[in-house]
Amino acid sequence: MKDLYPSRVYQKPKILERKDPVIHGDKQSAKEGPLNEQQLKEYEKNGFLLLKNFFSPQEVKKMRVELDRLWQENKHNASPEVIREPGSQEIRSIFDAHRKNELFHDLARDPRITYMIQQLLGSDVYVHQFRINFKPGFKGKEFYWHSDFETWHVEDGMPRMRAVSCSILLTDNHSYNGPLMLVPGSHNYFVSCVGETPEDNYKTSLKKQELGVPDHDSLSWLVKKGGITTATGPAGSLLLFECNTMHGSSGNISPEPRSNVFFVYNSVENALVKPFSGQKPRPEFLANRTTQTPELDKPAEKVDMSSKKTG
């Protein structure tokens, strides 16, 4: 398959134009989903959409219970799905918990989410990756700027930009506890990064990403164009962001954890191929290659979300 988005192959960084639509499928059917026209426009323009208070406090409470349980259960778990903070043994992320956890398993198929994703991706969808980012208080470290798609393309073989991340805020995300920062409009450009990918790069990159990150000039160019938006909001808010939107977050020295869960949905028409790095695929918990049955194969009743506040 031709590599439409070559990265980590050139001597110098390059900024390439996006070759895929942002909202997929035909325009008419896109209009028929739960997101209204203004929300679609905002997502298409910025590459993300924040829906404040998407889940009720009761729902958030249930998720927090599971979150705390997973944190406790995995304190001494040495499996590769559990990523530790650089410089401490605190849990940074847990991957793939939705396979073993009923609540997160069901949440992945929640029609309030999947219908929106189908609307954006113009097809059936499946969960490509699931992770919890705890960002504990006092010592949660930064996530440097990156486009998820860059890694998923190079290291996992995701061919096209046709995936969406859905982040659910499980604690209040304030300006001071390391909220996600996004560069509006950055999803329209692919920053081809420099540096060759070493084998098993993920073993260090999930603690601290040093490859597949944009060079200073490209990042400055994107920020000059689009600025930086900080996705702050109360627990229960939901952030949709396009797979190529440049994002990152600062560390968290505040006492309040900034814990979010991420579902990454991919179009069933965009299944993974061989990694474009030429290396062996990353483990299944980082990139689902085996279970691509749609999370919902036919839309049931339409869910009305037009009243949800966009912030």
Decide if residue 178 touches a second copy (CB under 8 A): yes
Return the range that interacts with a second copy (CB under 8 A); candidates 41-49, 69-77, 214-222, 282-290.
Answer: 214-222
Among candidate residues 232, 231, 233, the one with its CA nearest the CA of residue 245:
231
Binding to a second copy by residue 38, rule CB under 8 A?
A: no
In angstroms, how far is the first alpha carbon of the chain from the final one? 40
In contact, 261 and 132? CB cutoff 8 Å = yes
- The answer to the question of residue 252 lying near a second copy (CB under 8 A) is yes
CA 132 from chain centre, in angstroms, equals 11
Residues 94-153 that bind a second copy (CB under 8 A): 137-138, 142, 144-145
Residue 223 lies near a second copy (rule: CB under 8 A)? yes
Q: How many residues touch a second copy (CB under 8 A)?
A: 24
- Closest approach, Cβ 90 to a second copy, in A, equals 12
Question: Does 181 engage in binding with a second copy (CB under 8 A)?
Answer: yes
**Span from 13-21, 53-61, 173-181, 192-200 in contact with a second copy (CB under 8 A):** 173-181
Q: Are strands 82-84 and 91-95 parallel, antiparallel or unpaired?
A: antiparallel
CB of 173 to a second copy, least distance (A): 12
Residue closest to 17 by CA, chosen among 187, 157, 213: 187
Nearer to a second copy, 146 or 308 (CB): 146
Helix/strand/coil (H/E/C) assignment for every residue in 85-143: CCCCCCEEEEECHHHCCHHHHHHHCCHHHHHHHHHHHCCCEEEEEEEEECCCCCCECCE
- Considering the rule CB under 8 A, would residue 253 count as an interface residue with a second copy? yes
Angle (deg, nearest 10), helices 111-121 and 37-46: 60
* Sites of contact with a second copy (CB under 8 A): 137-138, 142, 144-145, 174-176, 178, 181, 216, 219-220, 223, 228, 230, 248, 250-256
